[in-house]
């Protein structure tokens, strides 16, 4: 019986430690996101790159809901726009790869 009561007494402590670990992980994720926002806001090229990638992803999502056979012109117009944004983002990614890290911060 002593083992059972000891386990019950330690259960709240274990739950507290798990909650603290979760909060620490959550705080780390928030700090990482804030760092990315700060980095993007200080580098106009990086901000443009993230914007292009986001717009291309939205266009890709729209393309999945359009039938290429039924709405040929609309589909391929959106496809060309998405490809142009991806090409521009690729050019920017090559440029960003050669920048020293100090220019981001």
User: Nearest to residue 104, comparing CAs of 49, 36, 34, 52?
Assistant: 36
DSSP 99: S
pLDDT number for residue 57: 92
* Helix 72-97 × helix 44-63 angle, to 10°: 150
Please report, in tens digits, the pLDDT of each residue of the chain (105 residues total): 455 555 555 666 777 777 787 778 778 777 877 776 666 556 788 888 889 999 999 999 999 999 989 999 999 999 999 999 999 999 988 888 776 654 554
């Amino acid at each position: 019986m002593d083992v059972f009561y000891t386990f019950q007494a330690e259960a709240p402590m274990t739950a507290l430690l798990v909650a603290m670990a979760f909060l620490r992980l959550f705080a780390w994720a928030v700090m990482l996101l804030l760092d990315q926002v700060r980095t993007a806001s200080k580098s106009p090229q990086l901000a443009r790159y993230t914007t292009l990638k986001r717009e291309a992803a939205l266009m890709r999502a729209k393309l999945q809901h359009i039938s290429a056979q039924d709405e040929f012109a609309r589909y391929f117009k959106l496809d060309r726009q998405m490809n142009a944004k991806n090409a521009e983002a690729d050019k920017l990614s090559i440029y960003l790869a050669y920048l020293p890290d100090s220019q981001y911060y």
